Amino acid sequence: MQSVNQTSVSHFILVGLHHLPQLGTLLFLAFLAIYVLTVSGNGLIILTVLMDVRLHRPMYWFLCHLSFLDMTISSAIVPKMLAGFLLDSKVISFGGCVIQLFSFHFLGCTECFLYTLMAYDRFLAICKPLHYASIMTRSVCNYLALGTWLGGTIHSLFQTSFIFRLPFCGPNRVDYFFCDIPAILRLACADTTINELVTFVDIGFLALTCFMLILTSYGYIVAAILRIQSVDGRRNAFSTCAAHLTVVIVYYVPCTFIYLRPGSQEPLDGVVAVFYTVITPLLNPIIYTLRNKEMKAALRRLGALRKVWTH
């Protein structure tokens, strides 16, 4: 296998989303609006949790991590996409492509682990309420959150180094709107069968393991909720868990479509990728605020506090 120092490609050209030229400005405005709403919405969740002491609990601490991940994932992809729409700037340096691919998979894998951790937190809160406070202490929460970031780092370092050790000698047109594994592998000047298999097994194993752990947690949670005597108690528990489960499904289905089909080159891949890189980070704050009474109450208190400050 040739090493990366034999690579002759110094930059890549991101073809981007296929669209009519006259739609460039409209798409720029649409994605800009989504990006601004994503950053502001997730930023508002972080601010609300930090400002409201009633939300200083493990569930909302992990929600802050999720909001930060959503902001950074969107920021790793959307600005370059916007430049392509408005300025027709489609060139990305080789190093820039490496950084973008590493950042996306680092953040995405961390988010995958975080969803699993959030499901475990809900399992403890609902199924073992008497032991919850003693188990999910602040130090334990910090170590668990740190573990998700460390796991994402290791995964992304492995994937990125394994891909960019391949030789790239041309062509350099990436038929995608960002540097991602399937699109980059198609440009390598070597047999990528092993890379495709490793990507399939690695991402498939992680995604399937995390998803099965989440489903197992929610199996116990549903059984525990059905035993709750109070109607309001069941409703509140279902509401909180439904928000998390909705976000998990929205995240996992598109990722499965993209990465668990080796050698896929369908045009639909780009549309699906837009969903989990651009739309999903916007949906998360909407889902969590609309379905969570505590978050809505905290937002109202923050709004009232803002009015006091302005006066």
- What does the alpha-carbon distance between residue 210 and residue 249 come to, in Å, rounded to a whole number? 12
What DSSP assignment string belongs to 263-281? Answer: T---THHHHHHHIIIIIHH
Q: Which two tokens stand for residue 275?
A: 């969903």
Q: Which two tokens stand for residue 33?
A: 């609006």
Beta bridge partners of 13: 91, 173
pLDDT of residue 229: 76
AA identity, residue 51: M
pLDDT of residue 31: 93
pLDDT of residue 213: 93
- What does the alpha-carbon distance between residue 71 and residue 53 come to, in Å, rounded to a whole number? 23
The CATH number that domain 12-305 falls under is 1.20.1070.10
pLDDT of residue 110: 96
AA identity, residue 23: L
Q: Where are the beta strands (DSSP E) in 23-94?
A: 91-93
pLDDT of residue 163: 92
pLDDT of residue 308: 56
pLDDT of residue 248: 83
pLDDT of residue 1: 42
- What does the alpha-carbon distance between residue 120 and residue 221 come to, in Å, rounded to a whole number? 10
Domain positions in the chain are 12-305
Neighbours of 6 (CB within 10 A): 12
- What does the alpha-carbon distance between residue 187 and residue 206 come to, in Å, rounded to a whole number? 26
pTM for the whole structure:
0.87
14 within 8 A of 84, measured Cβ to Cβ: yes
Q: If we measure between CA atoms, which residue out of 88, 189, 107, 215 comes closest to residue 151?
A: 107
Helix (H, G, I), strand (E, B) or coil at 122: helix
Q: Which two tokens stand for residue 254?
A: 């598109």
pLDDT of residue 52: 86
295 within 8 A of 285, measured Cβ to Cβ: no
For each successive 10 residues of the chain (311 residues), what is the average pLDDT? 57 83 85 95 91 89 93 93 81 93 95 93 90 92 95 95 89 87 89 87 87 90 82 72 79 78 62 85 81 79 68 54
pLDDT of residue 306: 65
Q: What would the pLDDT profile of 222-266 be if each residue is shown by its tens digit?
A: 888 888 777 776 777 777 677 778 888 888 888 777 777 655 555
pLDDT of residue 74: 94
pLDDT of residue 97: 94
- What does the alpha-carbon distance between residue 189 and residue 173 come to, in Å, rounded to a whole number? 13
pLDDT of residue 98: 95
Q: Which long-range contacts (CB under 8 A, 24 or more apart) does 30-36 make?
A: 31/78, 31/81, 31/82, 31/85, 31/278, 32/82, 34/78, 34/278, 34/279, 34/282, 35/74, 35/78, 35/79, 35/82, 35/278
Vertex 170: Cα angle to 27 and 79 (nearest 5):
25
pLDDT of residue 24: 80
Q: How many residues does the chain have?
A: 311
